[in-house]
Structure 1
Amino acid sequence: MLAIRKLQAAYGASRVLFDVGLDIAEGEVVTLIGRNGMGKTTTVRAIMGLIAPQGGEISFEGRDIRSLAPERIARCGIGLVPEGRQVFPTLSVRENLVATAANRLKRAGPWTLERVYGLFPRLGERAGQSARTLSGGEQQMLAIGRALMTNPRLLILDEATEGLAPVIRAEIWSCIAALKAQGHAILLIDKNIAVLGRIADRHYVIEKGRTVWSGSSADLCADAALVHRHIGV
């Protein structure tokens, strides 16, 4: 579904990505993990067209998307839950969800308000509230719901549970597991290796703008030295 080869990217004269590669197949949950500042979010921004790649390949369902504008990439079927959530603060929960809702790919059983409220009952209870009045965890639920309302074929979650209370993190992980069970392809960025090892199918480790390791959850969980070397503090 998504294939990245030798991806390079920079902010002005500062090169951030040197050689990033990863693959995601339909229905897979894949992670991109590593310490802060290694290039994870930059990789996501390059996928979404928010920065222009300086080299390498990005294809989605066999189509080269490197030169497409962000809105066209989204219309191809990629939904992003950005780092920091970035909900529309002055709009209500319901308005946030319907603002970008679409089913351009004519998917069967599309995401609707009712389905999102079923996944996140708190959002249904707060449908008329301004998004700025929600807790951080509720805003993350809203950001996920908003992305799902675009009915993407691939969902990207950047720092899925960063800064959230443990009980809210558990709720988010439970919902991600439910999405996986429904066959959603997901790219996850997070630091909770124990949970990622249970939920994800495969993992990619990035260090200083390069993919330095890839493997299954069993491989990752069996290699404590790898986790400490590339991910631990």
Structure 2
Amino acid sequence: MNTLLSVQDIETAYGSSQVLFGLSFEIREGETATLLGRNGVGKTTTLRSILGLTPVQRGAVHFCGQRIEAMATDHIARLGMAIVPEGRRIFPNLTVRENLLAFAGNRSKSQNPWTLQRIHALFQPLQQRSNHMGNQLSGGEQQMLAIGRALMTNPRLLILDEASEGLSPHMREEIWRCLGRLREHGQTILVIDKYVERLLSLADHHTVIERGRVAWSGSSGQLRAAPDIWQRYVGV
């Protein structure tokens, strides 16, 4: 598999406060990868650095073969990167249908692109609530909508930031089911979440961050065989 995203020795700071210290990892095409770690270790800053929201001071970020750390965020998005942000951030005053169509496109030039019909098949509640306003949906439905909206851009890389945060156990399982189906379809995915045991069955590769550095990286099999690693760096 070809490398889709490469983060190489990046250093990022907010003013005089440095957050990332030579952080590196890669994601290959068709792979599901995770960034793991407790709150405050640098996961959000890593995402902001990849997305062009916070300037990278040193190091490089490559996406689809292009160096992107100095690019504007909208340019990076047009290359085929889409995020399901923490807190969902759907448009409350647009209908479900309007939310899904707002940024529809085929940035990956897929031969089988995501359409409204395919999103409805993946998330049936969205079809049933197609004319409801975004603020009339439950938290779980809003999360479905946020994922569907990102998929409608047909991204090369789908990023999910705390996708299961604040959801009921039943709705979390719906989100995991969705990710499993996307993985089967070959969608490249980066997941930031805390449910390590569930991610072991979904992800191919894991990167554990601690104090702005990579503390550990490896496959699901390797992480499953080393529960002390995720208990040390991710457990509450």
Report what 2:63 is aligned to. Answer: 60
The counterpart of 1:147, out of the listed 143, 147, 150, is 150
Identify the range of structure 1 (156-165 vs 15-24) with the bigger mean alpha-carbon deviation.
15-24
The counterpart of 1:72, out of the listed 75, 78, 85, is 75
Distance 2:184 2:136 in 1: 31
2:235 pairs with 1:232: yes
Distance 2:165 2:15 in 1: 28
Whether the aligned pair in 1 keeps the contact of 2:13 and 2:20 (CA below 8 Å) is yes
Give the 5 Å matches for 1:37-116. Answer: 37-116=40-119
Report what 1:163 is aligned to. Answer: 166
TM-score normalized by the length of structure 2: 0.97
1:122-167 per-position Cα deviation (integer Å, ceiling 9, x unaligned): 1111111110111111111111000000010110001110110000
1:177-220 per-position Cα deviation (integer Å, ceiling 9, x unaligned): 00000000000001001111000001000001111110010111
Distance 1:106 1:2 in 2: 18
Partner-residue secondary structure (3-state), 1:54: strand
Partner-residue secondary structure (3-state), 1:32: strand
Q: Percent identity?
A: 54
> Partner amino acid for 2:8?
R
Structure 2 unaligned regions, length at least 5: none
> Partner amino acid for 1:87?
I
> Partner amino acid for 1:123?
L
Report what 2:183 is aligned to. Answer: 180
Q: How many residues are matched?
A: 233
> Partner amino acid for 2:211?
K
User: 1:105 offset after TM fit, Å?
Assistant: 3.8
Whether the aligned pair in 1 keeps the contact of 2:107 and 2:156 (CA below 8 Å) is no
Report what 2:14 is aligned to. Answer: 11
The counterpart of 1:191, out of the listed 194, 216, 223, is 194
Give the 5 Å matches for 1:123-134. Answer: 123-134=126-137
Q: What is the root-mean-square deviation in Å for CA atoms of aligned residues?
A: 0.9
> Partner amino acid for 1:131?
G
User: 1:11 offset after TM fit, Å?
Assistant: 2.0
Q: Deviating runs (4+, > 6 A) in structure 1?
A: none
Partner-residue secondary structure (3-state), 1:204: strand
Structure 1 unaligned regions, length at least 5: none
Report what 2:24 is aligned to. Answer: 21
The counterpart of 1:203, out of the listed 206, 216, 221, is 206
> Partner amino acid for 1:14?
S
Distance 1:106 1:34 in 2: 34
Distance 1:187 1:151 in 2: 15
Partner-residue secondary structure (3-state), 1:138: helix
Report what 2:219 is aligned to. Answer: 216
TM-score normalized by the length of structure 1: 0.98
